[in-house]
Amino acid sequence: MKKTLVALGCIFALSANAQTPAKSIFFELGGPGVASLNYDMRFTKSESGIGGRIGIGGFSIGTAGERTSTIFIPIGVNYLIGKDGKNYFELGGGVTPVLINDSYNGTSDNFTSTFGHLNFGYRLQPKNSGFTFRAAINPVLGKGFFWPYYGGVSFGYKF
């Protein structure tokens, strides 16, 4: 009886551990973070379904006396649809706060903005841990603009 209880306890512990939400980190080129490092996780214990992401990215251009630095913080929710546990259609949306520092000959100005983004794409992620790939069309919209044909690709690791 004692051995049976220990065996059942081990089985339940292993199955509970196997049902943790999928998480991944990825580098995205294009997309709502332009060039960004992101964290994504499912909100349920399923490989598909609803989840979210947050990241940070940006760039800096110019010379020592004249430079513009921009930081993007993509935040979004997404939904994965798939049957084989590996290939998914991903759709979602979110908002990207933008922080801009513009310096010119010793003076510096800071600006903030936001834009919304949608996500329609393909996601390849293994059932267990391993390499992930994403490719998506990401229409972006903000005050006075709409870019319907913007997109991005990403490479990462699921754990």
- Position 159, amino acid: F
Domain ranges of the chain: 2-158
The H or E element containing residue 110 is strand 107-124
Q: Which of 29, 26, 75, 34 is nearest to 51 (CA)?
A: 75
What are φ and ψ of residue 51, in 5° steps?
Answer: -155, -175
Amino acid 12: pLDDT: 44
Looking at the predicted structure, is the pLDDT value of residue 5 above 70? Answer: no
pLDDT of 11: 47
Distance CA 85, CA 20 (A): 15
The predicted-structure confidence for 65-78, as pLDDT tens digits, reads as follows 899 999 999 999 99
Give the pLDDT confidence of 16-52 residue by residue, as tens digits.
445 688 999 999 999 999 999 999 999 999 899 999 9
What are 101-122's pLDDT values in tens digits? 999 988 999 999 999 999 999 9
Confidence (pTM): 0.84
Per residue in 13-26, pLDDT tens?
Answer: 444 445 688 999 99
**What does the radius of gyration of the chain's CA atoms come to, in whole angstroms?**
20
- The length of the chain is 159
Taken in order 42, 45, 48, 50, the sign of the CA dihedral is negative
Domain 2-158 CATH class label: mainly beta
Q: Residue 21 has what DSSP assignment? A: P
